[in-house]
Amino acid sequence: MAKEGADMTEETECMIDTNSAKDAGNVQAPGGGKEMRAVMLAGFGGLNKLRVTKKAMPEPQDGEVKIRVKACGLNFLDLMVRQGNIDNPPKPPLVPGFECCGIVESVGEKTKGFEIGDRVMAFVNYNAWAEVVCTPVDFVYKMPDEMTFPEAAAFSLNFVAAYMMLFEVANLREGMSVLVHSAGGGVGQAVAQLCATVPKVTVFGIASCFKHSAIKDSVTHLFDRNIDFMQEVKKISPDGVDIVLDCLSGENTGKCLSLLKPLGTYILYGASNTVTGETKSFFSFAKSWWQVEKVNPIKLYEENKVIAGFSLLNLLFKQGRCSLVKKVMDKLLCLYTQKKIRPVVDSLWALEEVKEAMQRIHDRGNIGKLILDVEKSPTPLMASDSTETSEAGEEEEEPEGDNDSKERMPFIH
């Protein structure tokens, strides 16, 4: 807490009147325990399942740090969590969010390596979208001095995933070619920047047409997501490509595999094709996710191909690979301080604006990362909303989402 004021000046450009929101977040709850604001998912479903609410503030356990959160990353996966469109989802109500950054407010016993006041970014296994987050030090990394909080919230998941796919799974080297879907998204932009750190890498990007002017310099060739990318890639490189990064899944998998050069690697790292509407569609779920075409190892043998899956969150939280991720993060922060990579922030949103932010990512409207800025006040349309009022009741009549709210624009970076 003591250090919070000192760091605020640096963040001023990203904040809009933070004081009222912050004061509201630190009220004493009855009984002496502190409370905090957090985004709550009441149950799996549409946007109306999300609300901002008060929650008991967590305290750090042994080996944990308590972070006063400044900003959180919003990922496509959060949409899938909201829909319940993931394997073994936890039981709602829950606080979503897998990454945040902020300032260390206190540390648990036996917690080493961090001190109160440290500016940090962290992975969290849910619960990131709150004013305060406690997480084991294994998942916490110090931010470089020159990194802003929105940048930090946009950095961790996208760059670590992009780096590990390109260099740990696929072994990207000079002269190779990479095809990336959703080139305008957070991972897509991280992939493009990391590819630029290796000589003579050709990047084929696929993105919606309206993003092309904004991202055209980040990739070598850019294709509209509505055209037949296979044909277009083969026109330029009849041989195919060395690496395909696929976050769509479903029927896309087979197409991507056929685009691989011999010794090429296909990496599946998401399944956005399973999301067709605001709520989970069992039809698209089954079609795109569970019934994605299975691959015969013999076919891989005959064609000399490699197929991989990558889930950073499983790697961290189910498979205990935090020390490997730490090494990767060190390399990435080195690239950041050398100014070779820089996270692309699409827009900043108040916690209360999480629905609009999710709608934007659902509509593929973003270029780079969407950030929840914990200290940002909602734009005027929502200004009268009380954070203590559940919005679920009001919106249950509108299962297709409150599209009018898209008029309320966030701070665009």
Is 263 near its own copies (CB under 8 A)? yes
Integer Cα distance of 284 and 252 in angstroms: 13
Tokens read off for 212: 């092309």
Binding mask 146-185 vs its own copies (x if CB under 8 A, - otherwise)? ------------------x---xx-x--------------
Is 273 near its own copies (CB under 8 A)? no
C-beta of 153 vs 170, nearer to its own copies: 170
Closest CA to 217 of 192, 245, 191, 180: 192
CA angle 158/104/342 to nearest 5° reads 30
User: Pick from 227, 283, 290, 394: which binds its own copies (CB under 8 A)?
Assistant: 290
Please name the residue that has the structure tokens 């760091």. 7
Stretch that binds its own copies, among 56-64, 303-311, 346-354, 357-365 (CB under 8 A): 303-311
Please count the other Cβ atoms lying within 10 Å of the Cβ belonging to residue 298.
8
Is 317 near its own copies (CB under 8 A)? no
Tokens read off for 165: 């796919």
Is 80 near its own copies (CB under 8 A)? no
Cβ–Cβ under 8 Å, residues 130 and 69: yes
DSSP β-bridge partners for residue 244: 179, 266
Min separation Cβ 171 and its own copies, Å: 4
Is 262 near its own copies (CB under 8 A)? yes
Is 3 near its own copies (CB under 8 A)? no
Please count the other Cβ atoms lying within 10 Å of the Cβ belonging to residue 33.
10
Closest CA to 135 of 164, 158, 92, 104: 104
Is 7 near its own copies (CB under 8 A)? no
Min separation Cβ 311 and its own copies, Å: 5
Min separation Cβ 298 and its own copies, Å: 6
Tokens read off for 333: 């922060």
Min separation Cβ 160 and its own copies, Å: 13
Residues in touch with its own copies (CB under 8 A): 87, 164, 168-169, 171, 249, 253, 262-263, 265, 268-269, 271, 289-290, 292-311, 314-315, 319, 321, 324
